[in-house]
Amino acid sequence: MTRSFKDWWNTIPSDLKEKALNGDEANKPLLNQVNFALLHLELEGKHEAKPSHGELRTWLHSGQVGVVRVK
């Protein structure tokens, strides 16, 4: 069973979430913001905190994470 983006995002340290969103908290998260968090988790050696490929794919295809901001 895959986690929802929200379930995974709740496990991310708050300081990293703030840096990733950088004032964009009111909008749906974008893929580049998720990638920012993934990169920092990788650099910190927190491999277990990263989502699976299937989870990422599900979040994108279900619209939980946006690819571009459409106005």
Identify the pLDDT of residue 2.
83
Identify the pLDDT of residue 43.
96
Structure-model confidence comparison of residues 26 and 69, the more confident one = 26
Domain spans in the chain, listed from the N-terminal domain onward: 5-62
Name residue, tokens 């895959």: 2
Q: Is the pLDDT of residue 1 over 90?
A: no
User: Which DSSP symbol is given to 49?
Assistant: G
Name residue, tokens 């920092």: 40
Tell me the mean pLDDT in the region 9-38: 94
Specify whether the CB–CB gap between 5 and 29 falls below 8 A.
yes
pTM over 0.85: yes
